[in-house]
Homo-oligomer: A and B are copies of this chain.
Amino acid sequence: MSERERAVAELQRLIDGIPVAMVTTIAADRSLRCRPMLLTRLEPEATLVFLTHLSSQKTDEVRRDARVNVAFQSDKGDRYVSVSGTATIEHDVTRMRELWNPTYRAWFPGGVEDPDSGILTVRIEYIEYWDVPSSRLLRLWGAAKALATGEVAESGDYNRLETD
């Protein structure tokens, strides 16, 4: 198993049960903007795939500056994952057909060939995560300690995965 495959498998495990990510981009005014997005797919080549509209503001942002962060937070607050990468947005009917689900028609009225559909693909460059022990008592304390200080994150006593 390559380093990349190992990282993707581990990321899959980490984000299991977290359907929505917070995706941060750099706006035209250079500020960092973030919005929730449903993850469509994590692909074996270490890319995260989302659907969007070509007419959306984030499409403009990503085309101006490709740097993004994709953050996942479990609903129990016991896991936080930060993925750094670069994004591209394409209109690709062939790929859209592969990703298509009939419920998507609600937001892409033109179906697979909707001219405004965009596939946002993030090439993963860096993954960091904070995994808090599962015991509730330990978790709360562990979280408070690690989170306030960044100690877990920055002392080396944590897991860092880099894809090749």
Residues of A that sit less than 8 Å from B by CB: 20, 22, 24, 26-27, 30-38, 40, 50-53, 56-58, 67-69, 71, 73, 75-77, 80, 82, 84-85, 103-104, 106-108, 125-126, 128, 130, 143-151, 153-154
**Once bound together, how far apart are the Cα atoms of A153 and B148, in whole Å?**
30
Residues A82 and B148 in contact in the complex (CB < 8 Å), given A57-B154, A69-B24, A71-B22: no
The answer to whether B73 and A36 touch across the interface, beta carbons within 8 angstroms, is yes
Name A154's contact: one of B20, B56, B80 (CB within 8 Å).
B56
A71 contact set on B, CB distance < 8 A: 22, 24, 34, 71
A51 contact set on B, CB distance < 8 A: 148-149
The answer to whether A150 and B52 touch across the interface, beta carbons within 8 angstroms, is yes
A sample of 8 more A-B contacts (CB under 8 A), given A33-B82, A36-B73, A50-B148, is A20-B77, A20-B147, A31-B69, A52-B149, A75-B75, A75-B77, A104-B148, A107-B145
Name A126's contact: one of B33, B108, B130 (CB within 8 Å).
B33
**Once bound together, how far apart are the Cα atoms of A40 and B149, in whole Å?**
12
A144 contact set on B, CB distance < 8 A: 38, 103
